[in-house]
Amino acid sequence: MRPLRKRVLALSVSFFAIAGVLTASETPQSAEEPGEPRQQTAQAGPEPGAATDTQVAVAASEAPPAQVQQLGPETNLPLPRFVSMKSDRAHVRRGPSTTHRVDWEFLRRDMPVEVVAEYGHWRQIRDHDGVGGWVHYVLISGNRTVLVEDEMLDLHFQPSSESRVVARLEQGVIADLGKCDRDWCRVAAGGQRGWAPKTSLWGVTADEIRD
């Protein structure tokens, strides 16, 4: 499986998905942050309204403790919460402004990430490996997706391990998230649909129910 993100010095990445007998690949398309010059990684002075180090620390500390739901100060939406990347290439910065340096680039549209803090127009996110930083809110979407964690995941016709297998997804495949009951979620990828155990997916909480 190829990586879904890269450090800013890396040059390229590719992604492979298998659903049934289908193989899908996609080359990232460039999508810059609003108002940011191409290849810009840092600026010498602070921009107007840029967050101070103290403000960044306060915003980052707002990530909630376990089992306690907190609402984001900018959106009034739950923290943490799962979203997906809207862009094929998104700069992930050390702090919530364009004056902060770029640490990573997320390179896959629809990749699920978790929002853990908010500051103005910026969201602090992390991926399935716990890697992340700050991105502008226009680079993320409320559309829900999940990442396959099993080496080869069976999709079942019904939410039961006894149900027939309708497709298989390779580790690292990104799938659209549909209904979820207590233990299973219905997902779709590469034209295939089926039910998968929650424990095999990243991007959905263990207690999440979706109609």
Q: Taking the domains of the chain in order of start, what are their residue ranges?
A: 1-8+71-143, 146-202
The whole-angstrom separation of Cα 43 and Cα 163 is: 56
Query: Is it true that 1-8+71-143 and 146-202 share their CATH fold?
Result: yes
User: What is the fold of 1-8+71-143?
Assistant: SH3 type barrels. (2.30.30)
pLDDT in tens, 60-81: 566 555 566 899 999 999 999 9
| Cβ–Cβ < 8 Å for 97, 113 | no
The whole-angstrom separation of Cα 82 and Cα 185 is: 15
* Low-confidence stretches of the chain (pLDDT beneath 50): 9-47
The whole-angstrom separation of Cα 43 and Cα 20 is: 47
CATH homologous superfamily for the domain 146-202: SH3 Domains (2.30.30.40)
pLDDT at position 118: 98
pLDDT at position 69: 80
